[in-house]
């Protein structure tokens, strides 16, 4: 089991390492794309990714391809206004519709991954077809780099972010096209409970410890393990102290969180027995709501810590 950090700006990898991160579980790449009129070219992206990969040495770096649209606008694309941007043209949907953009990013990442431990994952996957196409594009970008003698990562693991309930529900089918899964619990909660993650009026409903979300998490982890793959989590839930014993009990393989949360999370995990957390997780899945799950964990920690 691994504790990794989420980063979204160059330089944050140093804080992550200082905090005890064993890798980067989510490199948000939007910093290169937001607030500008022109997309960054391959060279600019390569230089930014390379610094981060070099800082991490042989530790894993999971880079997420561009996740724009919805709550992450990008002026350079000049996208038309949408009535439902969270259900609209965003993330992997843009990447696959604009393979020029996505392939440039993939080439930059693959080049930056030379000698390192690069993994690439795709945001907001909803269908097997999307994952198959994204994987093909990545392998093609890699083959082209190799064929033209450009130095790049020798191999790359390709993952699917699980942020949409459809992806969780077909995780057993998606697993044939992904080397790993990373659960984006922020969006997975938003879409499962139909509660906008940024809207304070529905903040009471937005709780990633809702058993509906936990049951999806359970399905994803099981599907990955049955296929001999692994599952991480890079949403806020992975760093929440009340969630960690449950996630451990569900068999989560990698926890990725903001650097500030790492020391406390590690201290808690050291105190836990996996066999005991399995029973807690089973009980959590049987609860009727998030409130009951939170109460259950509080009582459990009181007894077990």
Closest alpha carbon to 269 in 252, 248, 300, 297: 248
Q: For residue 175, what are its two tokens?
A: 């697993």
Residue of minimal CB distance from Mg ion? Answer: 187
Site string (108-147) toward Mg ion, x via CB under 5 A: ----------------------------------------
Buried b (16+ CB within 10 A) or exposed e, 109-143: bbbbbbebbbbbbbbbbbebebbebbbebbeebbe
Between 185 and 287, whose beta carbon lies closer to ligand PEP? Answer: 185
Q: For residue 11, what are its two tokens?
A: 């330089």
Give the nearest distance from C-beta 238 to Mg ion in angstroms: 13
Rounded to 10 degrees, the C-alpha dihedral 86/91/97/101 comes to 140
How many residues in the shown chain lie near Mg ion by CB under 5 A?
Answer: 3
CA-to-CA separations, 209 to 89, 111, 196, 283, 289, in angstroms, rounded:
28, 39, 16, 13, 8
Give the nearest distance from C-beta 290 to ligand PEP in angstroms: 16
Query: Which residues are at the interface with ligand PEP (CB under 6 A)?
Result: 26, 28, 67, 163, 184-187, 234-235
Between 66 and 152, whose beta carbon lies closer to ligand PEP? Answer: 66
Local structure of 86: helix, strand or coil: helix
Give the nearest distance from C-beta 73 to ligand PEP in angstroms: 13
Give the nearest distance from C-beta 195 to Mg ion in angstroms: 14
Give the nearest distance from C-beta 66 to ligand PEP in angstroms: 11
Q: Taking CB within 5 to 8 Å according to partner kind, which of Mg ion, ligand PEP, none is near residue 95?
A: none
Cβ atoms within 10 Å of 103's Cβ, excluding its own: 17
Footprint of Mg ion on 157-196 (CB under 5 A): 163, 184, 187
**Interface positions with Mg ion (CB under 5 A):** 163, 184, 187
């Amino acid at each position: 089991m691994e504790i990794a950090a989420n980063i979204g700006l160059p330089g944050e990898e140093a804080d992550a390492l200082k905090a005890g991160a064993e890798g980067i579980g989510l490199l948000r790449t939007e910093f290169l794309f937001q607030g500008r009129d022109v997309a960054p070219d391959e060279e600019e992206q390569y230089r930014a990714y390379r610094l981060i990969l070099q800082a991490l040495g042989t530790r894993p770096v999971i880079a997420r391809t561009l996740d724009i649209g919805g709550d992450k606008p990008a002026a350079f694309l000049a996208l038309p206004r949408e009535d439902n941007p969270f259900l609209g043209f965003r993330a992997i949907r843009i990447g696959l519709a604009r393979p020029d953009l996505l392939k440039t990013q993939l080439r930059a990442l693959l080049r930056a991954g030379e000698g390192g431990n690069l993994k690439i994952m795709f945001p907001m996957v909803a269908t097997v077809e999307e994952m198959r196409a994204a994987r093909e594009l990545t392998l093609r970008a890699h083959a082209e780099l190799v064929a033209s003698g450009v130095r790049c990562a020798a191999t790359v693991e390709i993952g699917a972010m699980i942020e949409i309930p459809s992806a969780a529900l077909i995780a057993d089918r998606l697993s044939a096209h992904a080397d790993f899964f990373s659960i984006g619990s922020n969006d997975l909660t938003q879409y499962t409970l139909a509660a906008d993650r940024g809207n304070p009026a529905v903040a009471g409903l937005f709780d990633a410890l809702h058993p509906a979300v936990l049951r999806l998490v359970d399905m994803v982890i099981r599907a990955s393990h049955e296929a001999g793959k692994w599952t991480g989590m890079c949403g806020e839930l992975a760093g929440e102290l009340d969630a960690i014993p449950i996630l451990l009990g569900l068999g989560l393989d990698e926890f990725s969180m903001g650097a500030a949360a790492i020391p406390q999370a590690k201290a808690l995990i050291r105190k836990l027995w996996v066999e005991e957390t399995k029973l807690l997780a089973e009980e959590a899945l049987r609860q009727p709501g998030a409130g009951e799950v939170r109460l259950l964990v509080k009582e459990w920690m009181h007894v077990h810590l």
